[in-house]
């Protein structure tokens, strides 16, 4: 068995097909929505968000550059390459493009399987590390027969030995690239999956447990079936909370929720001390389990002195996008005796929505006093509490 040389894990997303079986539409099926999101975007999100996958190489059709740019917006991916006339040629284009990165393991996945789980991706990588080449398979429940030219049964196959095979298929990179190159040299262009090429080249291919939910969207009925998928397949829903406090000091205005409000004091802090945007930033980072604002922007770092806090929130928003996630909702509560927040509520909501790139009806701003109790009640400072709800791709099965 070939060793993976300790290199990174790469994923090739095959998205160059024309999708003619999916019914009449002006765009290929991988650019049509499935479960409320463009199919390719959902698939890219699975791999962009997989912590083990370092490189994502998409293979697209030369006509689809503009559609691709939209589908991949915000993800950290390698530049796409154009595919060939067959799936086999497209995968080879992806493999060749990855050569400069010398990956250890490569996963090959069809854009038309947007419901693979993060657990399946992890299983594929593990299986390839252990065996050199591994594919997900499911036991078949239908009896399968081969037929002859006239449509009569040739043979009834032994069901127990059969597996319906899916993607991602996972391989040690070097031998798969070599097998593809050899297929070109020997003018073989009839392989329907990468395991078949590996098998032909003499690589032993292991089978690990696939997922019944990892359906391939091929026919119009598959799009309808996808709409009925359990909600956990439509996203890994996360909630994060964030709390921040800043003390009053000398000054004539505060900045809360990105809005400048005249006041008898200012809030003290290293940046502009926007307690609301700091709490929201931590809430988003919390939803991603991605540390906190202080770790990403150390207060000891002079470059954040007086910084406008929209950049902190923008950073967290970009972290969500890089994971293929979407912000479903932001909820903020500000605790102070003064200044009055109510008159500025909608301006804050609009500003937060702008920074987060979401609709204003997904942003709530609430305010309360603490009945003159505690540090907020004594007018020593302001506290803010935030909750963020984020949908990441690839919920567990």
- What would the two tokens of residue 388 be? 């963020």
The distance of closest approach from Cβ of residue 254 to Mg ion in the complex, given in angstroms and rounded to an integer, is: 13
Cite the DSSP H helix spans in 116-164.
118-131
Q: Which is nearer to Mg ion, 276 or 321 (CB)?
A: 276
Strand ranges across the sheet with 363-368: 266-267, 236-249, 381-392, 326-335, 363-368
Q: Which is nearer to Mg ion, 194 or 244 (CB)?
A: 244
CA distance 129 to 132: 6
Q: Which is nearer to Mg ion, 74 or 339 (CB)?
A: 339
Task: Give the number of other CB atoms < 10 A from CB of residue 350.
Answer: 16
The distance of closest approach from Cβ of residue 274 to Mg ion in the complex, given in angstroms and rounded to an integer, is: 8
Q: Which is nearer to Mg ion, 34 or 276 (CB)?
A: 276
CA distance 268 to 259: 16
The distance of closest approach from Cβ of residue 381 to Mg ion in the complex, given in angstroms and rounded to an integer, is: 11
CA distance 12 to 58: 6
Q: Which is nearer to Mg ion, 199 or 292 (CB)?
A: 292
Q: Which is nearer to Mg ion, 263 or 278 (CB)?
A: 278
The distance of closest approach from Cβ of residue 329 to Mg ion in the complex, given in angstroms and rounded to an integer, is: 22
CA distance 332 to 283: 10
The distance of closest approach from Cβ of residue 42 to Mg ion in the complex, given in angstroms and rounded to an integer, is: 35
The distance of closest approach from Cβ of residue 389 to Mg ion in the complex, given in angstroms and rounded to an integer, is: 22
278 binds Mg ion (CB under 5 A): yes
Pairing mode of beta strands 236-249, 145-147 = unpaired
Stretch that binds Mg ion, among 159-167, 256-264, 274-282, 295-303 (CB under 5 A): 274-282
Q: Which is nearer to Mg ion, 97 or 384 (CB)?
A: 384
Q: Quick check: 370 and 23 in contact, CB under 8 A?
A: no
Q: Which is nearer to Mg ion, 233 or 278 (CB)?
A: 278
Stretch that binds Mg ion, among 277-285, 298-306, 348-356, 379-387 (CB under 5 A): 277-285
Q: Which is nearer to Mg ion, 51 or 299 (CB)?
A: 299
Would you give the distance in Å from CA 300 to the centre of its chain?
Answer: 32
The distance of closest approach from Cβ of residue 379 to Mg ion in the complex, given in angstroms and rounded to an integer, is: 18
Q: How many residues bind Mg ion (CB under 5 A)?
A: 2
The distance of closest approach from Cβ of residue 313 to Mg ion in the complex, given in angstroms and rounded to an integer, is: 12
Identify residues 224-253 at the interface with Mg ion (CB under 5 A). Answer: 244
- What would the two tokens of residue 39 be? 């199919």
Considering Cα of 303, then 306, then 307, then 313, what sign does the dihedral take?
Answer: positive
Distance (Å) of CA 284 to CA 150, 277, 289, 330, 336: 61, 11, 9, 9, 23
The DSSP result for 243-284, as a single string, is EEEEEEES-SEEEETTEEEE-SSEE-SSS---HHHHHHHHHH
Q: Quick check: 384 and 275 in contact, CB under 8 A?
A: yes
Distance (Å) of CA 181 to CA 3, 24, 75, 174, 334: 19, 35, 30, 11, 62
Residue number of the CB closest to Mg ion reads 278
Distance (Å) of CA 253 to CA 179, 268, 381: 67, 11, 13
The distance of closest approach from Cβ of residue 271 to Mg ion in the complex, given in angstroms and rounded to an integer, is: 7
Identify residues 253-272 at the interface with Mg ion (CB under 5 A). Answer: none
Identify residues 163-202 at the interface with Mg ion (CB under 5 A). Answer: none
Q: Which is nearer to Mg ion, 278 or 345 (CB)?
A: 278
The distance of closest approach from Cβ of residue 302 to Mg ion in the complex, given in angstroms and rounded to an integer, is: 16
Distance (Å) of CA 178 to CA 11, 95, 130, 171, 191: 17, 10, 20, 12, 15
- What would the two tokens of residue 114 be? 């947007």
The site for Mg ion (CB under 5 A) is made up of 244, 278
């Amino acid at each position: 068995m070939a060793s993976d040389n300790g290199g990174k894990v790469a994923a090739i997303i095959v998205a160059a097909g024309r999708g003619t079986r999916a019914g009449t539409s002006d765009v290929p099926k991988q650019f049509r929505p499935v479960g409320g999101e463009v199919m390719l975007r959902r698939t890219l999100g699975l791999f962009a968000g997989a912590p083990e996958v370092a490189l994502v190489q998409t293979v697209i059709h030369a006509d689809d550059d503009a559609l691709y740019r939209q589908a991949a917006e915000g993800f950290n991916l390698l530049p796409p390459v154009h595919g060939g006339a067959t799936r086999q040629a497209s995968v080879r284009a992806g493999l060749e493009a990855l050569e400069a990165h010398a990956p250890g393991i490569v996963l090959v996945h069809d854009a038309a399987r947007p419901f693979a789980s993060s657990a399946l991706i992890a299983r594929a990588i593990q299986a390839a590390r252990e065996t050199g080449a591994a594919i997900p398979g499911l036991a078949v429940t239908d009896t399968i027969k081969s037929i002859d030219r006239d449509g009569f049964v040739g043979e009834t196959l032994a069901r127990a030995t059969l597996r319906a095979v899916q993607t991602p298929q996972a391989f040690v990179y070097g031998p798969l690239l070599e097998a593809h190159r050899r297929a070109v040299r020997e003018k073989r262009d009839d392989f329907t999956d990468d395991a078949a090429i590996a098998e032909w080249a003499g690589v032993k291919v292991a089978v690990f447990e696939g997922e019944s939910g990892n359906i391939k969207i091929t026919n119009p009925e598959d799009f309808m079936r996808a709409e009925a998928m359990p909600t956990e397949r439509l996203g890994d829903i996360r909630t994060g909370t964030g709390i921040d406090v800043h003390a009053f000091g000398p000054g004539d205005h505060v900045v809360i929720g990105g809005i400048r409000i005249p006041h008898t004091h200012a809030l003290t802090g290293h940046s502009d001390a926007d307690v609301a945007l700091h709490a929201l930033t931590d809430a988003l980072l919390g939803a991603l389990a991605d540390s906190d604002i202080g770790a990403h922007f150390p207060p000891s770092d002079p470059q954040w002195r007086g910084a406008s806090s929209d950049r902190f929130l923008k950073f967290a928003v970009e972290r969500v996008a890089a994971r293929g996630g979407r912000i479903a909702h932001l909820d903020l509560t500000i605790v102070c005796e003064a200044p009055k927040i109510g008159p500025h509520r909608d301006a804050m909501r609009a500003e937060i929505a702008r920074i987060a790139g979401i609709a204003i009806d997904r942003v709530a701003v609430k305010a309360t006093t603490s009945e003159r109790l505690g540090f907020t009640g004594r007018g020593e400072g302001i506290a803010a509490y935030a909750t963020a709800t984020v949908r990441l791709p690839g919920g567990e099965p």
